[in-house]
């Protein structure tokens, strides 16, 4: 199977869906003339023209509102935020318009659309450009929240998101755009709301999503050196959240470690912990452990950046602590 970059997988997904459906269009800052801030939309202006690949002003609230109006009138916008940190400027349109329109109009108006762009830390970008809002958006009924961890998932999930019919928050990692992975040339989609068991195991279940999956994959290798066989679940989507796959894994391993690049309070890992203790408490042989970011704005210094994030060492330590109980 061929290997392509994460950004190329996203581009293929958008381009293929735009060729099939003339209602689909892309708008955002620098998506057209500049080929995208991260070159995700490279070449799309040349193929689809300026009416379907649209450069916007630096005005997230404005172009998010335009996209919501377009979706209400039957088009299928893909809104690219240069970073989801900037989506906070547009959050009123996302939360109060896109997420609620179907319910408030009894289905007369739908917001068939995708909001996409990078999330989380990308190095020394400072506190205002390094935040994770997956749990914020996942707390909103009416939205679906998708966080792919590799090029294969990125393409399959984005194609499903574009076809879904609901407003989708599609969050990528800036540090993964150059990541290469195997992606089929033939048509495929992936189900939104279904987690993926990335590795079978018997001793501990590790649940994660997005960029943190790269660290979890390294953790698995370290654990094998200690004789610990971990089962790994990649959530793929955090709303809807696939509790069933997690609980079925815990019935086998009896232990759970959750890894999340987000602040600890009211996080996705908090929700998973609650659901597991509600529905699978009797299967647990050790307390649930979770590894999140530090509960502070992200400092700029490179040493602090690494201390802030879930580290391989912290994840290994947590897995060993529960596995040896």
Contact 280, 247 (CB under 8 A): yes
Please state, in angstroms and as integers, the Cα–Cα distance from residue 309 to each residue in 69, 184, 251, 306, following that order.
38, 32, 29, 5
In sequence order, what DSSP letters do the residues of 191-205 get, joined into one string? -TT--EEEE--SSEE
CA distance 240 to 242: 6
CA distance 131 to 87: 11
Q: Which residues contact 192 (CB under 8 A, 6 or more apart)?
A: 144, 146, 157, 160, 161, 164, 168, 236, 237, 240
144: β partners: 168
- Decide: helix, strand or coil at residue 239: strand
Active-site entry in 12, 17, 60, 80: 60
List helix spans (H) across the chain: 6-20, 44-48, 60-72, 91-92, 101-104, 134-138, 151-163, 212-225, 243-253, 268-279, 302-308, 312-323
Q: How many other CB atoms are found less than 10 A from the CB of residue 35?
A: 18
- Decide: helix, strand or coil at residue 231: strand
Instruction: Give yes or no: 129 in active site.
Output: yes
Task: Label residue 138 exposed, middle or buried (CB < 10 Å: 0-12, 13-18, 19+).
Answer: buried
182: β partners: 3
Active-site entry in 29, 129, 172, 261: 129
Instruction: Give yes or no: 279 in active site.
Output: no
**Active site positions, annotated:** 60, 129
């Amino acid at each position: 199977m061929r290997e392509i970059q994460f950004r190329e997988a996203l581009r293929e997904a958008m381009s293929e869906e735009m060729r099939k459906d003339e209602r689909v269009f892309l708008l955002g800052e620098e998506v057209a003339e500049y080929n995208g801030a991260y070159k995700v939309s490279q070449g799309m202006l040349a193929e689809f023209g300026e009416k379907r690949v649209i450069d916007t002003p630096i005005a997230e609230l404005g172009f998010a509102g335009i996209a919501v109006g377009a979706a209400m009138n039957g088009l299928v916008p893909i809104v690219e935020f240069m970073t989801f940190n900037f989506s906070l400027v547009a959050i009123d349109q996302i939360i109060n318009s896109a997420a609620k329109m179907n319910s408030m109009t009894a289905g007369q108006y739908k917001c068939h659309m995708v909001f996409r762009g990078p999330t989380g830390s990308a190095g020394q970008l400072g506190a205002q450009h390094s935040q994770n809002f997956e749990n914020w958006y996942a707390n909103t009924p009416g939205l679906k929240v998708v966080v792919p961890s590799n090029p294969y998932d990125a393409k399959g999930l984005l194609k499903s998101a574009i076809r879904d019919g609901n407003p989708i928050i599609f969050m990528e990692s800036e540090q993964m755009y150059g990541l290469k992975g195997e992606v089929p040339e033939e048509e495929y989609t992936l189900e939104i709301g279904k987690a993926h068991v990335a590795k079978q195991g018997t001793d501990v279940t590790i649940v994660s999503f997005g960029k943190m999956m790269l660290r979890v994959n390294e953790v698995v290798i370290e654990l094998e050196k200690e004789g610990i066989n971990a089962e790994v679940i990649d959530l793929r989507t955090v709303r809807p959240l696939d509790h069933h796959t997690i609980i079925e894994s815990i019935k086998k391993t009896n232990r759970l470690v959750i890894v999340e690049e987000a602040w600890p309070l009211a996080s996705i890992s908090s929700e998973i912990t609650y659901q597991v203790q509600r529905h699978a408490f009797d299967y647990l042989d050790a307390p649930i452990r979770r590894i999140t970011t530090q509960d502070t704005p992200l400092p700029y210094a490179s040493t602090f950046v690494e201390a802030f994030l879930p580290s391989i060492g912290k994840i290994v330590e947590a897995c060993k602590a529960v596995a040896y109980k």
